[in-house]
Amino acid sequence: MSRTRNPRAPLAHPATAEIDLFHVLHALADPTRMTVVRTLAAEPGGERPCGTFPVDVAPSTLSHHFKVLRESGLIRQREEVNRRITTLRTADLEERFPGLLATVLTAYGRSVAE
């Protein structure tokens, strides 16, 4: 018995009804994670692999942020060939907290525009 790792955990996502507002707000209160969310929201129906986000952190750090986003219910990730594809849970968020995501993204757009 040498290794007791848990590689490739089964990617748990909260159900729509279980999405917690405080977790969502906390997840959005970070520039790197906001960039991820905003990038996904920019292209409707957008999916993209982890490596393609315009963020400036180490891969392991980004992986951590994906976990936070996933567990908060903001994004969904599915396994694919050699990639992990990320999508925004737009509809689920809209069902759980109507208007929240759009309003926050608009607010972010404002603050970027000075």
Interface ranges with DNA (CB under 7 A): 3, 5-9, 26, 29-30, 32, 49-52, 57-68, 77, 81-84
Phi, psi dihedrals of residue 73, rounded to the nearest 5°: 95, 5
**Mode of pairing for the β-strands spanning 75-79 and 47-49:** unpaired
66 binds, among DNA, a copy of itself, none (CB under 5 to 8 A by kind): DNA
Task: For residues 86 and 65, give the distance between their C-alpha atoms in angstroms, rounded to a whole number.
Answer: 12
Using CB under 8 A as the binding criterion, the count of chain residues that bind a copy of itself stands at 22
The number of beta carbons lying within 10 Å of the beta carbon of residue 76 is 16
Choose between 80 and 95: whose C-beta lies nearer to DNA.
80
Burial per residue of 13-29, b for 16 or more beta-carbon CB atoms within 10 angstroms, e otherwise: bbeeeebeeebbeebbe
Applying CB under 8 A, among 52, 82, 111, 113 the residue interacting with a copy of itself is: 111
Residue with the two structure tokens 């009804």: 17
* Least distance (Å) between residue 98 CB and DNA: 25
Q: Return the residue of 13, 28, 38, 86 that touches a copy of itself, per CB under 8 A.
A: 28
Out of 16, 30, 50, 90, point to the residue binding a copy of itself (CB under 8 A). 30
- Select 8 or 110, whichever has its Cβ closest to DNA: 8
